[in-house]
Amino acid sequence: MTTTKQIIDKFVSSVDVSKSYSLADLVKALKEAHKSHKSTDKNGVEKPKKAPSQYNLFIKDQMAILKNDGCNPKDRMRKATEEWKRQKKTDVVSEPSDVVSVVSEVSEGSEDK
C-alpha cells in the first residue's frame, strides 16, 4: 500500500459522513492523518523522536533567559547565537592539548608505515 493511500485511508476513517464539516475541520483531520503517518516507519512502528543537539538545548536555555530582557524574538536569537559562537570559541581554545595529542598520534602512525 502506498503512503498516499495509507494517509487517505486514515483520513477517511476519521471523517463521519453523517456530520457536516467546515473546510478548516477537514484540513485539520487531513493534517492529523499525515502527521500520524509521518511518525511511523514502513511497518507502522512508532519512530523515536530525535534527541535535541547541544546547540538546541543551549538555544532553548538562552531564549528562556533572554525572554525577560524585553527584546523582540529576532534580537534574542541573534544574542543567543552570538553567545553560542563565543562559548564554542572558548571551548576550542581551552582544549588545545587534545588537538596536539591527536595530531602527534596521527603523525607518529604515518611514520611507522
Report the pLDDT value the prediction gives residue 108, as an integer from 0 to 100.
53
Q: Tell me whether residue 63 is exposed, middle or buried, using C-beta atoms within 10 angstroms of its C-beta: 0 to 12, 13 to 18, 19 or more.
A: middle
- pLDDT tens figures, 23-62: 999 999 999 888 877 766 777 677 788 899 999 999 999 9
The residue ranking higher by pLDDT, 107 or 49, is 49
- pLDDT tens figures, 2-22: 678 888 888 888 888 889 989
pLDDT value at 94 more than 80: no
pLDDT value at 1 more than 70: no
Report the pLDDT value the prediction gives residue 92, as an integer from 0 to 100.
67
CA separation for the pair 53, 48 (Å, rounded):
15
The three cell numbers of residue 112 are 611507522
The residue ranking higher by pLDDT, 52 or 108, is 52
Report the pLDDT value the prediction gives residue 80, as an integer from 0 to 100.
92
CA separation for the pair 36, 50 (Å, rounded):
16
